[in-house]
Amino acid sequence: MNYRHHYHAGNFADVFKHVLLLQLIRAMQRKDKGFLYLDTHAGRGGYDLSMPSVLPDGRSREPEYPAGIGRFRGATGLPPALNDYLALVRRFNDRHGATGEELKFYPGSPWIAKLLLRPQDRLALCELRPDDAEALDFEFAREARVKVEVIDGYTGLKAMLPPPEKRALVLIDPPFETKKEFADIARGLRDALKRLPGAVCAVWYPITERARTDEFHHALLELATPALFAELNIAGPESLLKMKGCGLLILNPPWQIDREIRAVLPVLRERLRVEAGASAVCDWLVPDK
């Protein structure tokens, strides 16, 4: 499959990913010491939801955000982490000139991280596609403590770790354009942990068929590193949807992040489900001793 960010901005997978990413960044910031946020496949940084999405063959796509973040507009009684996330999206819209409660823009993971950045933290954003890298560089040209690199994300892991801070949160969120993406991720994680064994590494992945996901999880057992995974399925296993859900795997997860993730998953499942059989889970792949 091809999961380029701008085709799916604000959809269910973005909501899931960015709520959990926000929780991870907040957890990293419980310590005063700064850290490097390294995004290996950063995309364009932010997205204009009013712009039509056109595929390379010229066909247009229906926007996906109404069935994603659109389902949270005006919502009340949400867990704190979801309110935190919605406030960040509102800040991003205000920053880009949206008026009132208008939802016109959506922040990608680079802007989620930048809006939370402390003076002692840094961002390194990798993007290989020239058009996306140019847009990303324009987005952050005037932002302090942010570096954009036109580089393959897996090469970026080798080039930027370990950082001077000796602390890092790495997000690996590739477009899954090739069948060997899971193998590339596993190799990239091995490289990252060799350079910084304590790095917190988060990997987003689509759930299209259970066998591939299980094989990916199994391949990571050899790393012998504490590993937690969370998954959200918006439909049951018999659904005809090509992508039934998505997951986030976290190596070296911060203390008690599993509890924080479990607190938001039921709400995400109920708000974002599209068919019967929707489910959400958070469990340990390799328990933290």
Distance of alpha carbon 252 from the chain centroid: 16
Q: Is the peptide bond before 79 cis (omega within 30 degrees of 0)?
A: no
Residue 214 CA, distance from chain mean position: 20
> 198 by DSSP, 3-state: which?
coil
CA–CA separation, 152 and 129 (whole Å): 9
Element (H, E) at 201: strand 200-207
Q: Which helix (H) or strand (E) holds 84?
A: helix 80-95
Of these residues, 14, 39, 132, 173, which one is catalytic?
A: 173
Q: How far is CA 163 from CA 114, 151, 183, 190, 199, in A?
A: 18, 17, 25, 17, 10
For residue 173, indicate whether it is catalytic: yes
Instruction: Count Cα neighbours of 135 within 13 Å in the Cβ-side half-sphere.
Output: 16
CB 83 within 8 A of CB 129: no
The two structure tokens encoding residue 229:
């995974």
H or E segment to which residue 245 belongs:
strand 245-251
Strand partners, 283: 229
Residue bearing tokens 């932002």: 143
State the DSSP string of 13-27.
HHHHHHHHHHHHHHH
User: Do residues 247 and 228 touch, judged by C-beta distance below 8 A?
Assistant: no
By annotation, the residues acting in catalysis are 173
